[in-house]
Amino acid sequence: MIARLWRRYGGQVRFLGIDVEDSRGDARAFVRRYGLRYPSIFDRTASMASQLGFFGLPTAYLVDYRGHVAARLIGKQRERTFASGLAAVVGEVKGAG
């Protein structure tokens, strides 16, 4: 699902993966398995995740053009829920420009 959303919205918003609670090898295997082309950070100690208010896996943060967290999606999400949040962030950017 994330790979599809990245292909759909990747030209309009930035995607960044933060890998928590995996080995580096497992993280790389995940990226290869799903064909992810956006940057991913290996956060072995979960320090970045903690700073973001990490609640569990998976957690997605939608950050607006001002750098504010516009939405926090905790747990497995339906694609349409995720897409709706991305569309709102894209719309906000277009409205600001």
- pLDDT tens for 27-42 read 889 889 988 888 888 8
In 3D, which of 70, 35, 84 has the Cα closest to residue 17? 35
What mean pLDDT comes out for the span 62-75?
84
Q: Range of 11's domain? A: 2-90
What mean pLDDT comes out for the span 64-88?
88
* Residue 16 pLDDT grade (very low, low, confident, very high; cuts 50, 70, 90): confident
Q: Give the integer Cα–Cα distance in Å for 58 and 79.
A: 14
What is the CB neighbour count within 10 angstroms for residue 31?
Answer: 17
Domain CATH code at residue 23 = 3.40.30.10
* Predicted local confidence at residue 36, as pLDDT: 87
Kindly state whether residue 49 falls inside one of the protein's structural domains: yes
Q: Give the integer Cα–Cα distance in Å for 26 and 8.
A: 26
Instruction: Enter the tokens of residue 65.
Output: 């053009």
pTM, rounded to two decimals: 0.75
Q: How many distinct structural domains can be found in the chain?
A: 1
Kindly state whether residue 97 falls inside one of the protein's structural domains: no
Kindly state whether residue 95 falls inside one of the protein's structural domains: no
Name the residue type at position 4.
R
Kindly state whether residue 46 falls inside one of the protein's structural domains: yes
Residue 92 has pLDDT above 90, yes or no: no
Provide the CB-side half-sphere exposure for 32 (13 A, CA): 6
Kindly state whether residue 26 falls inside one of the protein's structural domains: yes
